[in-house]
């Protein structure tokens, strides 16, 4: 009797577990639907701001200030004509409209508040994220004979007095452009009081917020002090605000509008496309010496006597890489935040003057740099987000001439990047870059356009990226059995309570490493080791594997494990799309007659 009851209980347990599993799946589906609905609502609200009729309204040259604009453009800024969207944005801000302006890196965003500042009679307050960026802009303005001021904790007393007297009393000369960091604006109560007096006198004409994506926690470079800027509209309700960025998705724009109390403001967006830039992903050699050989070769040959930037992941990487390249006779220097201010400025100037061919830099280098003839940007490790990739690559070719943007990709670098990100949002952004690097067939510009919510016809690339230039068809390889092998290794490691790094997993899979972790009935892979990395990366981005972190006092370690709830049934089919120019030995290809058949019964892992 007791045994019968036990069996009955087990049956109920099984049914309960099955129902709970179904409920969990339904909850997950419900959450996805809610998220999608929320995204659509954001898009719906934002598209109200993308008003083409507004662009038509402000693109004319029949405003009271139009003739003055043209004169200043040519005489002060030495420019013949406006670039795309510049005139529209300038006319809108001079018409006292709030607006957000999205313009590609090097597209001339700063002109959209500098020129209106000279037209008006009062002050344009410019909020900029970095002192170095402010210095660069002031140097550029000074060369054009335009006087500007900046105020921060390091400003000399005499200059502070001049600025404060003008703000509080309206004394001459008028400060047309006043630069501050968000930190100074949020922390200096005295400065805020002077700014309020300037407003009361009618001298605060507009507020320009550069790199406005920093306001948003969804942005790729969120800064807490930018959150204070939400008070600006309350303090100066009728002063127009212009927010500028090169990198913002629809979600970020929606967040910025809400945070700055600019709901329903105008949004003007230029195409993200930089037609002179060639985008390329290169498989990064596994051995350090081989990677150095590659860099030496392209710097001495392909980019001989040409200027560029090499981005590295960490300060130590910039130092080590620069030293190694100098040892090979290359004129490069490291650039990072820990350098002495004088030395950092010296490196910057020598690079600007072409005494150094390249700087090996962290992402601290580059915001607002004014060097039009950068012919190459190389990412030695994958960037932390698609926004970073676009912005940092965009520092090449600002003169409109051809330039190369190269990402050196290796799956292990993804884990190095993952170890230093601090949120789920940052992890998601890093994974988007991984997906970009893995794609060996889609137009790179299309991948960027999709990320930035812009439509793109791949034919417009004109073979100006590696994938379009190769023009290779896609071959689908069956990797179901490979996934089963990987799962078997992971399961054995879990039984032995061993954490698997990427290196350890690959070693065991290729019959090396810890003998106790090997699974005897798994064959030796026929694919090359770097191809095995591609397969593992694909399984990660498609949700069959996950990476997780372990922390100790000295480091953050990243490990690989099966995704919770994932299992491979008898009907499961996992396929990976690979360019036909790359041969994955030992893997079954999808039959040629269904390669392009979208109706074929293949499990899509999107």
Q: Is residue 605 situated within a structural domain?
A: no
142, 80: one domain:
yes
Report pLDDT digits (tens) over 309-354: 999 999 999 999 999 999 999 999 999 888 887 898 899 889 989 9
517, 488: one domain:
yes
224, 295: one domain:
no
Q: Which pLDDT value is given to residue 560? A: 94
Q: Is residue 317 situated within a structural domain?
A: yes
230, 341: one domain:
no
Q: Is residue 324 situated within a structural domain?
A: yes
Report pLDDT digits (tens) over 353-370: 999 999 999 886 765 567
312, 436: one domain:
yes
Q: Among residues 218, 245, 269, which one ends one of the domains?
A: 269
Q: Among residues 246, 269, 292, which one ends one of the domains?
A: 269
Q: Which pLDDT value is given to residue 173? A: 86
Q: Which pLDDT value is given to residue 594? A: 43
**What is the value of pTM for the model shown?**
0.81
Q: Which pLDDT value is given to residue 596? A: 44
Residue 63 burial (C-beta neighbours within 10 Å; 0-12, 13-18, 19+): middle
93, 141: one domain:
yes
- Two tokens, residue 581: 């120019």
120, 252: one domain:
yes
Q: Output the domain CATH number for residue 567.
A: 1.10.10.10
Q: Is residue 604 situated within a structural domain?
A: no
145, 198: one domain:
yes
What DSSP string describes 32-81? HHHHHHHHHHHHHHHHHH--HHHHHHHS-S-STTHHHHHHHHHHTS--SS
440, 537: one domain:
no
Q: Do residues 403 and 278 make contact, with C-beta atoms less than 8 angstroms apart?
A: yes
Q: Is residue 602 situated within a structural domain?
A: no
Q: Which pLDDT value is given to residue 45? A: 62
Domain that holds residue 561: 476-594
434, 378: one domain:
yes
Q: Which pLDDT value is given to residue 592? A: 47
Q: Which pLDDT value is given to residue 403? A: 98
Q: Which pLDDT value is given to residue 589? A: 83
The H or E element that residue 187 is part of is helix 182-187
Q: Is residue 294 situated within a structural domain?
A: yes
The H or E element that residue 286 is part of is none
Q: Which pLDDT value is given to residue 599? A: 33
Q: Is residue 341 situated within a structural domain?
A: yes
- With a CB cutoff of 8 Å and minimum separation 6, the contacts of 83 are 107, 108, 270
182, 263: one domain:
yes
What DSSP string describes 428-463? HHHHHHHHHHH-SSS-HHHHHHHHTT----GGGGTT
Using CA atoms, how far apart are residues 560 and 533, in angstroms rounded to an integer? 12
Q: Output the domain CATH number for residue 211.
A: 3.40.50.300
What DSSP string describes 375-439? EEEEESS--SSHHHHHHHHTTS-TTSS-EEEEEEE-HHHHHHHHTT--SHHHHHHHHHHHHHHH-
Low pLDDT (below 50) residues in the chain: 592-606
Q: Among residues 49, 70, 88, which one ends one of the domains?
A: 49
Q: Which pLDDT value is given to residue 582? A: 80
- Two tokens, residue 349: 């100037």
Name which of 348, 339, 338, 419 is nearest 384 in CA terms: 419
Paired residues of 207 in beta bridges = 125, 241
| Domain count of the fold of the chain | 4
354, 408: one domain:
yes
- Two tokens, residue 566: 């994932």
Name which of 53, 89, 84, 54 is nearest 69 in CA terms: 89
Q: Do residues 124 and 176 make contact, with C-beta atoms less than 8 angstroms apart?
A: yes
Q: SS3 for 215?
A: helix
Q: Is residue 490 situated within a structural domain?
A: yes
């Amino acid at each position: 009797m007791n045994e019968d009851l036990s069996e009955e209980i087990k049956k109920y347990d099984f049914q309960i577990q099955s129902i709970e599993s179904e409920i969990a799946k339904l909850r997950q589906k419900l959450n996805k639907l809610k998220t999608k609905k929320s995204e659509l609502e954001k898009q719906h609200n934002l598209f109200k701001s993308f008003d083409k009729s507004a662009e038509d309204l402000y693109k004319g040259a029949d405003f009271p200030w139009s003739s003055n604009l043209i004169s200043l453009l040519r005489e002060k800024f030495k420019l013949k004509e406006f670039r795309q969207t510049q005139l529209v944005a300038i006319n809108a801000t001079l018409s006292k409209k709030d607006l957000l302006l999205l313009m590609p890196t090097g597209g001339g965003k700063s002109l959209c508040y500098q020129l209106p500042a000279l037209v008006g009679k009062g002050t344009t307050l410019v909020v900029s994220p970095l002192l170095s960026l402010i210095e660069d802009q002031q140097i550029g303005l000074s060369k054009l004979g335009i006087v500007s001021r900046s105020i921060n904790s390091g400003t000399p007393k005499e200059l502070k007095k001049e600025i404060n007297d003008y703000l509080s009393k309206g004394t001459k000369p008028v400060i047309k452009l006043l630069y501050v960091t968000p930190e100074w604006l949020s922390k200096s109560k005295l400065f805020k009081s002077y700014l309020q007096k300037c407003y009361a006198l009618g001298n605060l004409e507009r507020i320009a917020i550069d790199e406005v994506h920093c306001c948003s926690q969804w942005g790729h470079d969120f800064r807490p002090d930018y959150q204070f800027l939400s008070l600006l509209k309350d303090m100066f309700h009728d002063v127009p605000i212009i927010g500028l960025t090169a990198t913002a998705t629809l979600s970020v724009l929606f967040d910025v509008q809400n945070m700055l109390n600019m709901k329903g403001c105008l949004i003007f967006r230029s195409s993200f496309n930089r037609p002179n830039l060639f985008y390329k992903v290169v498989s990064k050699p596994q051995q350090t010496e081989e990677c150095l050989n590659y860099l030496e070769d392209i710097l001495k040959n392909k980019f001989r006597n040409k200027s560029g930037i090499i981005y590295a992941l960490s300060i130590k990487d910039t130092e080590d890489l620069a030293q190694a390249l100098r040892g090979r006779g290359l004129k490069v220097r490291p650039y990072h935040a820990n350098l002495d201010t004088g030395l950092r400025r010296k490196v910057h100037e020598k690079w600007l003057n072409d005494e150094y061919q390249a700087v090996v830099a962290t992402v601290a280098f580059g915001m607002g740099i004014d060097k039009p003839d950068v012919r190459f940007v190389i990412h030695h490790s994958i960037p932390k987000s698609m926004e970073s990739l676009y912005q940092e690559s965009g520092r090449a070719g600002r003169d409109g001439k051809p330039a190369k943007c190269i990402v050196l990709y290796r799956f292990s670098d993804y884990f190095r990047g993952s170890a230093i990100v601090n949120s789920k949002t940052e992890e998601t952004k890093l994974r988007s870059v991984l997906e970009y690097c893995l794609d060996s067939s889609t137009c790179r510009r299309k991948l960027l356009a999709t990320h930035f919510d812009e439509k793109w016809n791949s034919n417009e690339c004109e073979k100006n990226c590696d994938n379009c230039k190769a023009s290779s068809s896609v071959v689908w390889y069956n990797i179901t059995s490979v996934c089963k092998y990987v799962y078997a290794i992971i399961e054995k490691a879990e039984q032995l309570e061993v954490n698997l790094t990427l290196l350890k997993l690959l070693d065991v899979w290729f019959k090396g490493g810890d003998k106790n972790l090997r699974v005897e009935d798994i064959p030796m892979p026929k694919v090359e080791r770097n191809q095995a990395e591609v397969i593992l990366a694909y399984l990660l981005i498609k949700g069959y594997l996950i990476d997780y972190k372990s922390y100790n006092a000295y480091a953050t370690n990243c490990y690989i494990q099966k995704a919770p709830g994932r299992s491979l049934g008898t009907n499961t089919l996992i396929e990976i799309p690979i360019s036909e120019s790359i041969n994955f030995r030992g893997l079954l290809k999808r039959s040629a007659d269904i390669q392009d058949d979208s109706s074929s019964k293949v499990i899509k892992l999107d």
